[in-house]
Amino acid sequence: MSAVNSGATAVAREARQGSDDVLQVALSAFEAARSGDTALLRSALDAGMPAQACNEKGDTLLMLASYHGHAKAAELLLERGANPDAANDRGQTPLAGAAFKGDLAMAVLLLDGGAAVDAGDPQGRTALFFAAIFDRVELVELLLARGAVPGRVDDTGATPLAAARAMGAGRTPAVLELRVVESARQVG
């Protein structure tokens, strides 16, 4: 059992044993992460809520805070030991969510907090894929600067560049093409 699921399982087990207080702490923690209520989230963590707890969809508190753009809540969770690479049941990581949403500041926070730049979902898509297909130039540049591999392929054989072109992204293909050319020069 993963650390993420063990925290949630402990909360669920205590809730089943009749501890309404534990259930209330869990519910308040997830709502606090989703809404960005850092004070309430801190209280829930101080009351024993594991920073790695996840909900029925596998979303960790950090996933919820980061996806909804709540930097202070995400920062608190990282300080309390939340795993920045913990994927939900769909294989999505907080960094991929930040790339999807176009949240550059959150991506920086997650990367600074230890998120792996090239963590992929079950189909092999990384945050770079999502930034590229949704035409998030600043995020593509950040991810490349932090070491994302532009030539990585997903399970269909597509690269971030090919995926961006297929989705009709207007600006990110040029950024990725330049990086591919630069990489080829360094190898050759």
pLDDT in tens, the chain (188 residues): 444 444 555 555 544 555 677 778 888 999 999 999 999 999 999 988 999 999 999 999 999 999 999 999 999 999 999 999 999 999 999 999 999 999 999 999 999 999 999 999 999 999 999 999 999 999 999 999 999 999 999 999 999 999 999 999 999 999 999 988 877 777 76
**Residue 144 in tokens:** 């490349």
Say if residues 87 and 97 touch (Cβ distance below 8 Å).
Answer: no
Dmax of the chain from CA atoms?
Answer: 66
pTM of the predicted protein model: 0.86
The CATH architecture to which 1-83 belongs is Alpha Horseshoe (1.25)
Task: Name residue 57's beta-bridge partners.
Answer: none
| End-to-end Cα distance, the chain | 46
Give me the amino acid identity at 188. G
Q: State the span(s) of the chain assigned CATH 1.25.40.20.
A: 1-83, 95-188
Task: Give me the residue label for tokens 């809520």.
Answer: 49
| Tokens at 153, concatenated | 């392929």
Token pair of 23, please? Answer: 């259930």
Distances (CA, A) of 6 to 51, 71, 137: 11, 25, 38
121: which 2 tokens?
Answer: 């979902």
Which residues neighbour 143 within 8 Å (Cβ) at sequence distance 6 or greater? 99, 107, 117, 126, 127, 128, 131
Q: Write the single-letter amino acid at 140.
A: V
Q: In CATH, what is the architecture of 95-188?
A: Alpha Horseshoe (1.25)
Q: How many residues appear in the chain? A: 188
How many Cβ atoms are within 10 Å of 92's Cβ, its own excluded?
A: 22
